[in-house]
Amino acid sequence: MEKKVLVAFATTHGATQEVAEEVAAVLRDHGYEVEVQPARAVKSLAGCGAVVLGASLYMMHMHKDAARFLSRHKRAFNEGLPFAIFAGGPFDKADAAVWAEVRKRLDGDLANYPWLKPISTLVIGGKFDPTGLRFPWNLLPALKQMSSSDLRDWQAIRAWAGSLAEQMATGPLDLPTTIA
Ligand SMILES: Cc1cc2nc3c(=O)[nH]c(=O)nc-3n(C[C@H](O)[C@H](O)[C@H](O)COP(=O)(O)O)c2cc1C
């Protein structure tokens, strides 16, 4: 079976899906066959040559769909299926200390899955829109009073996806591309 790259995403408000689509577009530009799926909908990783997971962060932890995805597919990752993750993230200010703390917490979450050996981990900025908050966050008046913001750095995200494409091409991955 021809192997593809799966870009799975765990989102509540849609920002992580938009990043997943951008990562997928860059990988496709490099010639890979790519499928983008909500993490919770992925039942099997059969036919995947590599996985990129996008996880939004809530209350300093990965979205539950991302955590469940990692547990559900333990066997495939244990067998060495190449894996990369982007997660985020901070949206109110580009403060280095905040980003370092987010990275530390993310690494702490990932340590719960010792079978995972990410080829790359990226912390991204987040997007916040007080008018589009979903339950239960829309019940919190303090959140509704915050300003909207978007700290997703598309240039950095595209550069990261490009570096993944190169690692996949030069690493020990047997990934067919659509480029002859
Ligand atoms: C209630 C709430 C809690 C959040 N907690 C965190 C957090 O602990 N760490 C973090 O980096 N980002 C946090 N964020 C920011 C989100 O991760 C960010 O908005 C992200 O882009 C949302 O992704 P999504 O739209 O894919 O769900 C929080 C956002 C909300 C609304």
- Which sequence spans correspond to the domains of the chain? 4-170
For a ligand 1 pocket test, name from 36, 58, 139 the mutation site with the most ligand atoms within 8 angstroms of its C-beta: 58
Whether residue 169 is predicted with pLDDT greater than 70 in this model: the reply is: yes
Mean pLDDT, range 72-78, rounded to an integer: 95
Whether residue 176 is predicted with pLDDT greater than 50 in this model: the reply is: no
What residues line ligand 1, using a CB cutoff of 6 Å? Answer: 11-16, 56-60, 88-91, 102, 126-128, 137, 143
Please state the pTM of the whole predicted model: 0.93
Give residue 171's pLDDT: 57
Which homologous superfamily is 4-170 in? Answer: Flavodoxin domain (3.40.50.360)
Give residue 177's pLDDT: 44
Proportion of the chain above pLDDT 70, given as a percent: 93
Q: How far is the CA of 134 from the centre of ligand 1 (A)?
A: 12
The C-alpha angle with vertex 157 and arms to 7 and 169, in degrees rounded to 5, equals 60
Whether residue 30 is predicted with pLDDT greater than 80 in this model: the reply is: yes
Query: pLDDT-based confidence at 173, cuts 50/70/90?
Result: low
